[in-house]
Structure 1
Amino acid sequence: MYDHSASTSYPAADSVTGLLEPEAQDTDALYFQRCTWCGTAVYQRLLCPVCRGSELRPERSEGTGTVRHATVVHRQTPVARNVSLVEMAEGFVVRGRVTGSPVAIHSGDRVRLSVAEDPVRGEPVFQLVDEPSHRLWS
């Protein structure tokens, strides 16, 4: 049987919500939660969406992912900005911004975490890892 009390140390989590306490987080890292019962990776949840378990342990993401959906937003901002859904290597999806020209970000682009929390919008900021091949032929 799997031992749920592994000796790996994690940042402190609030005992009521299981969410990370702000002072416990590394500001350059993105933290997510993993269900101790089924192993599902989630981002800022109170319950596991698969088994409804409430025992979610915090883990640090390696910071790499793939853009699953990208949108250009023109409202409530002086210039157009990018809003993307990024599927991280660990399997959870997070909403964030990819730096660069908003119209140049496409589904399938590989990204890496640049800043864990944008000071204005409070969401992760990513940068493109490499120039995708579909842009080289345009």
Structure 2
Amino acid sequence: MLQTDSCEHTEFREDHDADTAATTAPADPTAPAVCGELLFQRCLWCGTPAYRRSFCRACGSTAFKRERSTGAGVLVRRNGHAPHHTWLVAMDEGFTLVCEVATTGPVVVAVGARVRVVRAVAPLAQGLPVVELTYRATSLERWW
């Protein structure tokens, strides 16, 4: 019978089987998702910042490098008409992402408010990044 596997294919298969059989290590408590650090991508071709993209929206490149965000940004607009905590946030590095605003009522938050990242990703990488206002929000009673 004719053998069609080359040496490279069999070595790769053995390495792949060994990698899949190994167990994963427990999550590091200093990982970005736990510390509140937000990571974003910067295109290696044109330098455009992006958050979780497959390709660059400016040049179409798939080559990215990961960078750590300062975590500061500005609320751009509410995502939808219902009074909930989901907002679009323009980060200082130049990318925009959908975030959840914590610790305030939805009426108290205004467009243009400065925020900072509290938690980059929910546990198990589900959910939206959570931000909080950098200034103390006024209570609803003072608005009336």
TM-score when scaled to structure 2? Answer: 0.66
**Residue of 42, 45, 60 corresponding to 1:37:** 45
Cα shift readout 1:19-46 (whole Å, capped 9, x = no counterpart): xxxx685122111100011110001001
- Letter paired with 1:94: L
* Aligned residues of 1:72 and 1:103 also touching (Cα < 8 A): no
User: Which residue does the alignment assign to 1:9?
Assistant: none
User: Which residue does the alignment assign to 1:26?
Assistant: 32
Percent sequence identity is: 35
User: Which residue does the alignment assign to 1:87?
Assistant: 90
> Where in structure 2 are there 5+ consecutive unaligned residues?
1-26
**Residue of 110, 116, 126 corresponding to 2:114:** 110
> Where in structure 1 are there 5+ consecutive unaligned residues?
1-22, 75-79
Tell me the CA shift for residue 90 of structure 1.
Answer: 0.3
Cα shift readout 1:84-136 (whole Å, capped 9, x = no counterpart): 0000010000101111111111110000001112349511010101258xxxx
2:107 is paired with a residue of what secondary structure?
helix
Q: How many pairs are equivalent?
A: 109
Counting helix residues as a fraction of each chain, which structure ranks higher? Answer: 2
User: Which residue does the alignment assign to 1:124?
Assistant: 129
Could you tell me how far apart the structure 1 residues matched to 2:60 and 2:47 are?
12
Could you tell me how far apart the structure 1 residues matched to 2:79 and 2:56 are?
27
* Aligned residues of 1:63 and 1:112 also touching (Cα < 8 A): yes
Counting strand residues as a fraction of each chain, which structure ranks higher? Answer: 1
Could you tell me how far apart the structure 2 residues matched to 1:82 and 1:103 are?
9
Could you tell me how far apart the structure 2 residues matched to 1:65 and 1:110 are?
6
Larger Rg: 2
Could you tell me how far apart the structure 2 residues matched to 1:50 and 1:81 are?
32
Could you tell me how far apart the structure 1 residues matched to 2:101 and 2:95 are?
17
